[in-house]
Amino acid sequence: MTPAQVLSLFSPLDAVAVCLLGAAWVGTTLWIENGRARRVSVSILMEGYRREWLQAYVTRTPRVFDMIALSNLRQGTAFFASSCLIGLGGGLALIANPETIASLAADLAIEQAPVLVWEIKTLLLLLLMANALFKFIWAHRLFGYCAVVMSAAPNDEGVLAYHHAQQAAEIANSAARSFNRGLRAVYFAVGAAAWLAGPWVLMASTILTVAVLWRREFNSKSREILLRKPPQGASE
């Protein structure tokens, strides 16, 4: 089939729904990662805490706790990367056997469509999952770089130790940004699965996904806790 024939299988409403999904995915990333915004996100607040963590790490003896914390972060990225691989495998299996989706759609009384339509809708989900996989893999590697830089810091408190701590903090923040982008890609991949039920459902799912992300980044209990000021007289 020619590209024009493929596009003819979808309605203008499908195009609007997919464009809305793409705009929401990119827009939420810019919105959340904008540290100069009037309302700062949890992700930006956590960047400050990582810098404080790595500064405190210089004077901590022993530094075992810091390496345990970093190891836990790497395990988290490895877990999500493995989950994305499983999801990609399942999605590829569906594309190889699209009749399964068509049969499920028939059972759910969803409007019937050519097999190619189901394959393309599944492909959108797979593209988001693949993006998430790459982000998690890169985050895992960056946390590894962070561990090496932290290990390079001398035991004696001094200029070199604080320099390496600052380097490690920036690498850790870069890793966290990549990890968070991977998580958002997973959120939107779950939302993209709603396209199987039609464009209106996809648009509703996209709006719901944005609402969930907004609440967790800008209106959550954890954000309120992070913004609390230390008591007066607290030692630095």
φ and ψ of 17, to 5 deg: -65, -45
Q: Whose CA is closest to 205, among 191, 195, 219, 187?
A: 191
Q: Are 28 and 213 in contact (CB under 8 A)?
A: yes
Which of 60-69, 79-88, 125-134, 168-177 has the weakest average pLDDT?
Answer: 60-69
pTM of the model: 0.89
* Average pLDDT in the chain: 88
Q: Are 13 and 199 in contact (CB under 8 A)?
A: yes
Give the residue, 11 or 131, on which the prediction is more confident.
131
Percent of the chain scoring above 90 in pLDDT: 63
Q: Whose CA is closest to 164, among 177, 154, 176?
A: 154
Give the residue, 118 or 43, on which the prediction is more confident.
43
Instruction: Report, as an integer, the average pLDDT of 207-234.
Output: 89
Give the residue, 156 or 213, on which the prediction is more confident.
213
Length reported for the chain: 236
Confidence check: pLDDT of 235 > 60: no
Query: For residue 206, what is the enclosing H or E element?
Result: helix 199-218
Which of 62-71, 129-138, 166-175 has the weakest average pLDDT?
Answer: 62-71
Confidence check: pLDDT of 6 > 90: no
Confidence check: pLDDT of 4 > 60: yes
pLDDT single digits (tens) 144-153: 999 999 999 8
Task: Report pLDDT for 96.
Answer: 76
Q: Which residue has the tokens 């540290």?
A: 35
Q: How confident is the model at residue 204 (pLDDT cuts 50, 70, 90)?
A: very high
Task: Report pLDDT for 136.
Answer: 97
Instruction: Report, as an integer, the average pLDDT of 84-110.
Output: 74
Residue 1 and residue 192: Cα distance in Å, rounded?
24
Q: Whose CA is closest to 153, among 134, 168, 133?
A: 168
Give the residue, 172 or 193, on which the prediction is more confident.
172
Task: Report pLDDT for 110.
Answer: 60
Residue 62 and residue 46: Cα distance in Å, rounded?
24
Close Cβ partners of 61 (under 8 Å, ≥ 6 residues apart): 155
Structure tokens, 111: 């409007």
pLDDT single digits (tens) 32-61: 998 776 789 999 999 999 999 999 999 988
> What residue type is 38 in one-letter code?
R
